[in-house]
Copies of this chain bind each other. A is one copy, B any other.
Amino acid sequence: VSDADATWVSGAEGSGFGRANLPYGVVAPEGAAPRCAVRIGTHALDLDALQRAGLLELPDGVFAGPALNPFLALGREAWTRTRRRLDALLAPDAPERAAVEPALVPLARAPARLPVAVGDYVDFYASLEHATNLGRRFRPGAPPLLPNWRHLPVGYHGRAGSLVVSGTPVRRPRGQRPPAVPGGPPTFGPTQQLDVELELGFLAGPGSPLGAPIPAAAAAEHVFGVVLVNDWSARDLQRWEYQPLGPFLGKSFATSISAWVVPLAALEPHLVAGPRQDPEPLPYLRAEGRWALDLELQVELDGELMSTTNARGLYWTFPQLLAHATVNGAATRPGDLFATGTISGSAPGTEGSLIERYAGGRFLADGETAVLRGRAGGDARPLVSLGEVAGTIVRSA
């Protein structure tokens, strides 16, 4: 616990949601329309109320809507200025305390909504350990890593319309499952292999036009913040459908994200060097500096710890993900989501999915709850929490 985390809001310091974090989200306070907020301890600070009270200098109504997109569109200078202002307003000796206090709402009375309207959702496959584990399982007898894997961050588009906020129940999807015998017909019914995928997601802003690739060196300017992502997966559906065009219904039934977007600025003290890359990537994928995130991540099933891993082990870093996704001239829009793919380590107990952890012998049951958690610091540096992304499985209709 350090001074940087201290605040007049009681109970917040040291909780992971102290002044060193200040993550953004959207809440729907009782009897009011959804609006943007910052989390401090167990409270939401209503940013629209703050702005109407004249305490923030930003375009009118930027926080009045049900999504952070207008704020994400403003870009780094506005993000930095707003973060500094909120930091000052919440400091222990803030002279504005009396004016700010009425804008605090207990989280229990202001349920969180999906924080952004995601335009496009890209999911990568950035963990070498996960790609190796899955390759062994989906293509037994063949080399687990395909020839392209070490040259580019393999990725695909997910379904933006299936993104839900932490806490939303997840209905077990039905679909076609692989034939019982090779060459036979598929079977149809509820997935028998429902899984989690532990991931980080990067929310883009202010956007970049069609035809203008984002250089790896500039990628951090295009990332507002970070969420936890659970890319729920139906492995049987996925195995049957995924060739040759990739995952579709095996993933598109639901993707959950955490409610509070941790600004990249709050994670700067936790940027570290990533793993050595061999072969050296092409020039457009090179970014000077430290871009891996030293974030401890956990998967919990019905309250029991399944895995603990760390995001710093990811082979591809987020500047590389953005540079690759746009090298062909693809545009980005404020609120686009770029997720890492499952984050797994190499030791037992560090896997980011059940299929890896239990070698295909255990999947999610109806009624079971999966919770992903993430945190940085908590040592000499203040604890910065990514909160959680939780979901309970509901049986097929």
Contacts and interface: CB of A to CB of B under 8 A. Distances in A.
A249 B175 contact: no
A139 B244 CA distance: 10
A330 B157 contact: no
Q: Main secondary structure on chain A at its contact with chain B?
A: loop
A245 B247 contact: yes
A148 B331 CA distance: 33
Q: Which of A156, A173, A282 has the most CB of B within 10 A?
A: A156
Contacts of A147: 179, 182-183
Nearest to A253: B328
A358 interface: no
Interface stretch (A78-86, A222-230, A234-242, A310-318): A234-242
Interface string A47-59: 0000000000000
Given A282-B188, A284-B188, A161 B330 contact: yes
A325 B254 CA distance: 13
B330 A252 contact: yes
Given A151-B185, A176-B282, A185-B151, A157 B328 contact: no
Nearest to A123: B245
Given A160-B160, A188-B282, A245 B328 contact: no
A86 to B, nearest CB: 30
Contacts of A188: 282-284
Nearest to A150: B185
A237 B328 contact: yes
A245 B243 contact: no
Contacts of A270: none
Contacts of A173: 327-329
Nearest to A139: B244
Nearest to A134: B244
Interface in A143-194: 146-148, 151-152, 154-162, 164, 171, 173-176, 179, 182-183, 185-186, 188
Contacts of A210: 162, 164, 171, 254
21 contacts: A125-B245, A139-B244, A147-B182, A152-B241, A156-B246, A156-B247, A156-B248, A157-B157, A161-B333, A162-B331, A164-B210, A171-B211, A174-B327, A175-B327, A175-B328, A234-B328, A243-B244, A249-B327, A249-B328, A252-B328, A253-B329
